[in-house]
Amino acid sequence: MLYLTNDLGLLPFFLPLGLIGFYRYLWYAIKLLAWGIYRPVRPSENPTYTSYKDVTIIVPTIDAGDEFKIAARSWLACRPKEIIIVTETKMRKALEELANEVDPGRIRVRTVPRANKRLQMIEGINATTTEILVFADDDAIWKPTMLDYILCCFEDLKMGGVGTSQKVHAINLNGHQTVWEVLAGFRLTIRNIEVAASTHIDGGVCCLSGRTAAYRTLILKDPAFQYGFQNDLWLGKYPLNSGDDKYLTRWMVSHGWNTHIQVTPEAELSSTFKDNWHFLKQVLRWTRNTWRSDFRSLFTERYIWYRYPYVAFTMLDKMLNPFTLLSGPILVAVFSSGQKDQPNALPGWNIAISYILWLLLTRTVKLLPHFLKRPQDIIWIPAWLAFNYYFAIMKIYALFTLHEVGWGTRAGVATGLAADIAKEKDNSIEPSSSSDSSDTVQIPMTHLDGRDDYSDRPYPHHRLSLSLPDDFDYAMSPQEQQRPPYPENEPRPDSIDLGTDGRALPYSNDFSRPRIPIYQQWTS
């Protein structure tokens, strides 16, 4: 191949291929360097937050398998205050039996009318009474140090969400992984490098993975968040059920909260993946979610450009990646076919094999961190190479099928969601009868009730404030409507008190007053 480069007539072939290769490997070298420099946040000796007081784990699920028992015991080893399992009504009995078997004192089960992950998450959020909540998949297995390494990040008052590193947990009891699980492991290795790099470079992240992610409860109690989260439509008409973690991440970015990923063995979770070809269905769903979310981040919301420019460029790079990846074999094929009529031409098979060997070598180098832990997986490098090109084609296919919003691997989930959203809109967004303006809408309010008493903590207080319009109308829940009416001679609240650690001060038990989670700016 070096001999061929002496022929200037081949410059049109080698120049674009060389430029693409130089860009791709330089970009990966930057990621690798940042990953090497990255250091996780370490727990302090006197933490502000402790798991047994300040953490609720929320697990939206429709399954009750053996993986749940293993995962639940690993969560309990981290000593959370409570675990809330949210499922559909028909699964309540099965999950209550599992909860009673594991720990009936700290695990409770709540239900929603239908299987809808976002609806289940909102149910869990509104049932949470701690300052920090952690979403976890029902098969996410934690290390005992997980919550300590998550909570230490919230010492930053502006920290809104924290994610973790991940690895594959084999479904086979002997620990054997199928080729599909190995491919998932390769993807997670690349992901861990990428999120560590972005966290180090500008503090941003493309996605706080839903397998395990922690948030300040106050943020997710915001009625504006809850309404948008449950009425998330693609192109204004396709209701989204999956992609919840993407939505949460974008909300953090657009509302001024910081995010962080803890890439360290102490905060590494293990999760199962499909061990058969259904893994490809999972990947297709994730790919569609990524396209939709990245389009919104880059071109609709656009906060990402000035808050996390490196992450923004990473998103743009991923959009172009399938086209640059497929351009390589296309250029090689064109060059090989054009060599037939040239004197002393190399056979096409020679060029193709040289190119494939180069690709295998570079893919092996990129996955060295994985092979240091699982050297036996190196035999699957050819499968990984084939998957890369299949995935490039899949990404292009996903781009043209973004209107398909089904779960993909769970039959029945999200069925009828569009009709449900339309019905909820008709029932919950109506002109206020108490106002002269027909544009006034009722916004369901949520509360932070039943919390611990934090008055013994020596934090100076600040006031977080937001002015409310005089004709702002509150929509009370049926339970609230049974409470005493709001006193006419008292002004409606326009702010809430917070400590400098981000904690809301204890509320009274007077539920007749709307509690208002507001997030604008700190004022003395």
d(CA 199, CA 159): 13
Q: Which of 250, 364, 372, 373 is nearest to 303 (CA)?
A: 250
Domain end marker among 225, 251, 277: 277
494, 125, 156, 508 alpha-carbon torsion, rounded to 10°: 40
Q: For the chain, how many structural domains are there in total? A: 2
Domain end marker among 277, 306, 325: 277
Phi, psi of 443 (to 5 degrees): -115, 120
Average pLDDT of span 97-111: 92
CB–CB of 432/257 below 8 Å? no
Percent of the chain at pLDDT > 70 equals 73
- Is 353 contained in some domain? no
Return the SS3 of 56.
strand
- Is 243 contained in some domain? yes
Average pLDDT of span 513-519: 36
Give the pLDDT confidence score for residue 327 in this predicted structure.
86
10 Å CB burial of residue 349 (0-12, 13-18, 19+) is: exposed
Helices (H), 429-514: 478-481
- Is 83 contained in some domain? yes
Angle at alpha carbon of residue 271, lines to 273 and 229, rounded to 5°: 90
Average pLDDT of span 250-279: 96
191-225: per-residue pLDDT in tens?
999 999 999 999 999 999 999 999 999 999 999 99
Domain end marker among 247, 277, 307: 277
Give the pLDDT confidence score for residue 3 in this predicted structure.
47
State the DSSP code for 300: I
- Is 13 contained in some domain? no
Residue 306 has pLDDT above 90, yes or no: yes
Average pLDDT of span 180-192: 97
- Is 457 contained in some domain? yes
Average pLDDT of span 490-495: 40
CB–CB of 110/56 below 8 Å? no
This prediction's pTM = 0.77
Q: Whole-angstrom distance between the N-terminal and C-terminal Cα of the chain?
A: 68
For residue 107, the one-letter residue type is I
Structure tokens at 82: 């409570």
Residue 501 has pLDDT above 70, yes or no: no
- Is 270 contained in some domain? yes
Say which CATH number the domain at 245 has: 3.90.550.10
Structure tokens at 321: 């990646």
Percent of the chain at pLDDT > 90 equals 62
d(CA 285, CA 279): 10
Give the pLDDT confidence score for residue 409 in this predicted structure.
52
β-bridge partners, 519: none
pLDDT band at 8 (very low <50, low <70, confident <90, very high): low
Compute the residue count for the chain: 524
- Is 271 contained in some domain? yes
* Residue 106: CB atoms within 10 Å: 18
- Is 101 contained in some domain? yes
Q: Which of 362, 361, 334, 358 is nearest to 348 (CA)?
A: 334
pLDDT band at 22 (very low <50, low <70, confident <90, very high): confident
Average pLDDT of span 308-329: 93
d(CA 333, CA 355): 10
For residue 139, the one-letter residue type is D
pLDDT band at 355 (very low <50, low <70, confident <90, very high): confident
Say which range, 17-26, 296-305, 461-470, has the weakest mean pLDDT. 461-470
Structure tokens at 168: 């594959």
Q: Residue 467 to residues 228, 470, 472, 505, 506: CA-CA distances in angstroms?
A: 21, 9, 10, 20, 22
Question: Which residues, including other chains, have CB under 8 Å from residue 31's CB and lie 6 or more apart?
Answer: 193, 194, 197
pLDDT, averaged across the chain:
80
Which residue range forms the structural domain that includes residue 99?
Answer: 41-277
Give the pLDDT confidence score for residue 340 in this predicted structure.
66
